[in-house]
Amino acid sequence: MTGTADVGVEKDSDESSAAVPAEPPGGPQSPSEEEPAAPVPPQVSLVKTKRDRAAKVPAPDHDPLDDAPPLDVDEPLLAARAHRPSDLIRFLAGVLGIVAVFVLAGIATSTTSGIEQDIATNAPHFSAVLSTITGLLSSVAVLAVPLSFAVERLIKRDGLRVADGVLASVLAYGVSLGIDWWVAEGASDHIRDALTRLATNSNGTLTDPVHGYLAPVIAYMTAVGMSSRPRWRVALWAVVLFSGITELLGGYTTPLSLMLTVLIGWSVAYGTLYAIGSPNIRPTGQHLMIGLRKVGFTPDSALRAPDAPGGTRRYHVTQQDGPPLDVHIIDREQQASGFFYRAWRRLRLRSVAVRRSPQSLRQALEQEALIAYAAAASGARAPQLVATSELGPDAAILVYEYVEGRTLDELADEDVTDRMMASLWQSVAALHERRIAHRRLTGESLLVVDEETGCLVNLSGGDIAATDLTLRIDVAQLLTTFALRIGPERAVSVANAVLGADRVAQALPLLQPVGMSRSTRVDLAKLTKERKTVARARALEQVASGERTQQQAEEDIAVAGEDLLSRLRGQILQIAPEAPMAPAKLERLKPKTLIMVIALTFAAYLALTTINPAQLKLSQMNWAWAAAALLAAAFSYVAAAMSLTGFVPEKLPFRRTVAAQIAGSFVKLVAPAAIGGMALNTRYLQKAGIRSGQAVASVGASQLAGLAGHLLLLFAFGLITGSQTNGDLSASRAVIIGVLSAAVLALVVAAVAPMRRFVLGRLRSLFFGVVPRMLDLMQTPSKLITGFGGILLLTLSFTACLDFSVQAFGGNVSFSAVAVVFLTANAAGSAIPTPGGIGPVEVALIGALTVADVSPSVATPAVFLYRALTFWLPVVPGWIAYNVLQRKSAL
């Protein structure tokens, strides 16, 4: 599209997006020395489309575009609105402030009441006439200020901002009414006393907890954007302060009520702005052209280029008299993008492994200019920075010489030559000699000029006076970038030829995904997945045709599943066998540590909210039966270890395997039991030296045998229960329900195409991995006896625990009936994927016991005792086992 949109520009406002006068490259000029703008050839025309007119932004009385002929700009229209992370952060801060006010009102009753008494004591000294006058003036001012501001905005044709403010004020009024109702009807007496008081000259009427008119005014004035309008901002807060003091002295409010009112207005305003987006104030290509003319260039046309990393906009500009330019625009919107990702990386990684984030637009401009000039002085091949300038109050431009070429990402694999890679390595070496780190050595930052020459671009995120670790991260990143395209062998060979074996070897400890850029981590995961998929498909064909044995196919899949970084390490060790192998410590907070803290917090919350001591009826419990239930629950971990080791042909340390099953009790807190247990057992087998494919197959074989054993035991105990009750099927209705549910589920899977394809795909991998694993186990009968014996003992242990729990509260039901209850209800409850089956399992067990003629007064405490022994009590031992196994590198 060629053309531009009419953009309103107001001096000293945050809507301003026009270029302002800037210093030319040679230094500041006086108005008399300033050269006039270069004329534009008459053949350059401005084309406006319907889309341009539809996206027109309200303009003020004077538009700087009227001062010069239009210039040719080819770019897509910018989004009309932008969702700023800063608005979300302010909203969250306001919500936390509101929560803090309620907490303060609930616990600091003496302090709040004391402040109110002091105000009430000194209020009579304030003249009644003066109080009336100030109250009238504040009421008028609090309405006049926003009304005047609205008129001023409408005159400047900024009605969109006014509409945002009106929406925020309406929402703030609604929130105020809701909080007023809650405080009056549902809040505690402490909160009500802190936020309200008896109104002056009233018959027992309480004041409002939130000012119904002040909160909307604050929301309105905040949403319309006064952060860059000092006069209006001072006027607003002066009016708010004046009105608040008047209300306090008049006895119509409390200090906490005023704080709550301000926070509600502020929070609702920023929440509204983030939800609907703020008007986009980013400068357009036309404003860029005007800014270039003001720093001495003669732009003719501009073409929007792909964005640089971090969202920096780029334009290729041709001049009437001069070489082409590559212009970068940095603005506040671009700086705000990716805020939460950067915050997480800064929290997770050590500071040396994270790029610096400028705190202001001026700092970003100075940092990029400094890196560019330092890179040029080092002798590295990089575009020359020729000028910088501010482009309005919210943007700045950096003008580089234009270098023709294609990025590495745009090249075909066969076009990536060793000479070109060597040229890029030489530039990196030149930067590192001056202690300059690039930090973004990905494919989009490597510009290929020709077959023998490369150029480094996108240096804005680099570091000056970089540490050794930072420079080594650069080497590791560039090695990985090249290896993704041409393989680890050539990548290491070229780097070794330029840098030498010692410097390449120093990067080996940094070859870990956490130290790579986000795009590189995605490419690494994608490459590994593609290699494994292709290898698995080829192995299936070769095994089916008899070309390879099952063992050979699994070895091929394991080799294909080796990640690229491991292969890179192997190549480096070939040229430098003495290279350090221990990974560098880049993380300060590991995700598993964060998950562990969240899990423990979640467990504590669930334990406090779901376990009611009154439901356990400890005074009525038979402690001998409870102790027997505890022993049965403890033995279940031995049975679980047997069921796993029995399906692994390799020898496993039994005590450590039992500890891994105990650790699974902790994992259940953050994942459904089946999923969490499978993941933990697979990880345990891999750490025990078993290949990934074989570990998955062993766990799958154990799960498949467990399912078969579950169904057989359900059928067997159902028959026993039916025979014991002389044809009375009340205790075995769950068997019928389970069979019918399985049939319905099978029909649904067969009827829905996506589900059918998913199941068939899983079954193919099952028969490829699990069935051959079972055939291997057939050659060792002792293993099969251990595995199936563990499955049987595991079910009997849980059944015994539930049976003993029922007996502990005086229940009397046959063991076979309890087995039927456990097998059906536990499976039905676990079908709902909640962590550990919390909720559904309890409901299903209580319901099934009730069907089996156990009174609810016995079934409820029995189920809670059973769950306490099998789920809640093992959490702390599981956490200890999890940490011990991790320290021993067994998990």
Task: State residue 505's pLDDT score.
Answer: 92
- What's the pLDDT tens digit per position in 123-137? 454 445 455 555 556
Range in 381-385, 693-697, 883-887 the model is least confident about: 693-697
Q: How far apart are CA 345 and CA 666, in angstroms?
A: 27
What whole-number percentage of the chain has pLDDT above 70? 66
In single-letter form, the type of residue at position 85 comes to: P
Task: State residue 842's pLDDT score.
Answer: 76
Average pLDDT for 299-311: 83
Residue 47 burial (C-beta neighbours within 10 Å; 0-12, 13-18, 19+):
exposed
Q: How far apart are CA 864 and CA 838, in angstroms?
A: 11
Q: Is the pLDDT of residue 742 over 70?
A: no
* Separation of first and last alpha carbons in the chain: 57
- What's the pLDDT tens digit per position in 408-464? 999 988 889 999 999 999 999 999 999 999 989 999 999 999 888 999 999 988 888
Q: Is the pLDDT of residue 721 over 70?
A: no
Per the model's pLDDT, the better-predicted residue between 274 and 423 turns out to be 423
Q: Is the pLDDT of residue 91 over 70?
A: yes
Range in 335-349, 613-627, 747-761 the model is least confident about: 747-761
Helix, coil or strand: residue 126:
coil
Q: How far apart are CA 273 and CA 275, in angstroms?
A: 6
Q: How far apart are CA 301 and CA 270, in angstroms?
A: 39
pTM: 0.58
Q: Is the pLDDT of residue 183 over 80?
A: yes
Task: State residue 779's pLDDT score.
Answer: 65
Per the model's pLDDT, the better-predicted residue between 181 and 385 turns out to be 385
Q: How far apart are CA 37 and CA 85, in angstroms?
A: 38
Structure tokens at 227: 């952060």
The conformational region for residue 806 under phi > 0 = left, psi -120 to 50 = alpha, else beta, is alpha
Average pLDDT for 100-115: 66
In the DSSP assignment, the letter for residue 838 is T
- What's the pLDDT tens digit per position in 14-49? 333 333 333 333 333 333 333 333 333 333 332 333
Structure tokens at 177: 């009414």
Q: How far apart are CA 36 and CA 23, in angstroms?
A: 14
Q: Is the pLDDT of residue 475 over 90?
A: yes
Task: State residue 295's pLDDT score.
Answer: 84
Confidence of residue 13 (pLDDT cuts 50, 70, 90): very low
Task: State residue 616's pLDDT score.
Answer: 56
Establish how many alpha carbons lie within 13 A of residue 108's alpha carbon, considering only the half-sphere containing its beta carbon.
14
Structure tokens at 73: 């700009």
- What's the pLDDT tens digit per position in 528-585? 888 888 887 887 788 778 787 777 777 777 777 778 898 898 899 988 888 887 778 8
